[in-house]
Structure 1
């Protein structure tokens, strides 16, 4: 997982970056609130951010508030880092939109626990989103297959009837029957979709029916 670190103190920023990298995170480090805002807008992969309260440009709470006001496709977990530790300060930081709060000076065990908790929550939220996508796919697939099956059966019935009568266009009718059977197999496979697996298609993505069905 990628993490954004926004800290105006160069020694603190370097220490955070080195520590988080050691724990296996990919870190993007910036030195003020404006840079943090830009980094979070430019990258969809930055889903977890550790933000210092006191920074040039936008401070931590202001940045949290602005981020929460903007619609975002992926979930975002925000941790405010500050030397302020009064209850009113903690409340202000969380009310601004932060998910967690770490008071300076902090120890590495606490930092790791809070960052890992954020990662677990983001993972859970992403899993829930994937299940919601799958549910939507299944509902749409069921409706499409239901609507297709009846006309397919009618067309197939007429094709078979004409073939039995020795129609002069029997080759064309055989082709029609073959293609109808292919569509029937496709609807059957769609009905067996059990997971959400997409693949690139032109400039977008579509569900991979082969990989999504058992």
Structure 2
């Protein structure tokens, strides 16, 4: 494997963390240097136990996992990862010397997102890592959009449920304001008029929410975001 990264293309990434799990130090150390030259934060582990601990501590963006590991196979490690709700979305590239179709199928079926056969050109590994990062970013965006749509559906449901009662309250209030006994009290008329205006504003806001086709986020207190009408 040629570990020189002078010919690599693409911008360096200083914000991503890669976890490499491999018990071969002759492979692990030069690979770590090559990844660090590209600006990645690199964590290494020589067995599944320390690899899992590092994964929980550092929350890597990409995992590179060897097949032949002490204590358990790399495929077993990946299966455990996929069964864990806190880590099952992590992008995993299996890096191994097993090159037959049967091994490749087993690795992918175990839950690996990609499969790279040793020895390999470091340029190819870097390209596959960039692909993994793009996929992770896309998945995050999709989850965020789903979250927005879920909030929007809740807002529309609430709007539908409270819209009719507010309309009814507005109608009753209007009838009340037309009564002669009410008209004789300027203070009461002023209070009811103010309440009537508030109900109209509420109905207008509900109408805007009901017309939303795409969610639009705006900043909210506490560093959060909220769905707002256009």
Please report the TM-score for the alignment, with normalisation by the length of structure 1: 0.77
RMSD: 3.1
Consecutive unaligned residues in structure 2, runs of 5 or more: 1-15
- Matched residues, number: 209
The residue that corresponds to 1:174 in the other structure is 193
Greater Cα shift, 104-113 or 121-130: 121-130
CA distance in 2, matches of 1:154, 1:73: 50
- Secondary structure of residue in 2 paired with 1:106: coil
List, as ranges, runs of 4+ consecutive aligned residues in structure 1 with deviation greater than 6 Å: 198-202
C-alpha displacement of 1:136: 2.4
1:152 equivalenced with 2:170 (yes/no)? no
Cα deviation digits, residues 153-196 of structure 1 (max 9, x gap): 11122223333442743344234334324433442453437236
1:194 equivalenced with 2:194 (yes/no)? no
CA distance in 1, matches of 2:201, 2:18: 47
Greater Cα shift, 103-112 or 185-194: 185-194
Consecutive unaligned residues in structure 1, runs of 5 or more: none
The residue that corresponds to 2:6 in the other structure is none
The residue that corresponds to 1:64 in the other structure is 78
The residue that corresponds to 2:47 in the other structure is 32
Please report the TM-score for the alignment, with normalisation by the length of structure 2: 0.73
- Secondary structure of residue in 2 paired with 1:113: helix
Taking a change above 3 Å as real, the CA distance of residues 61 and 198 of structure 1, as seen in their structure-2 partners, is farther
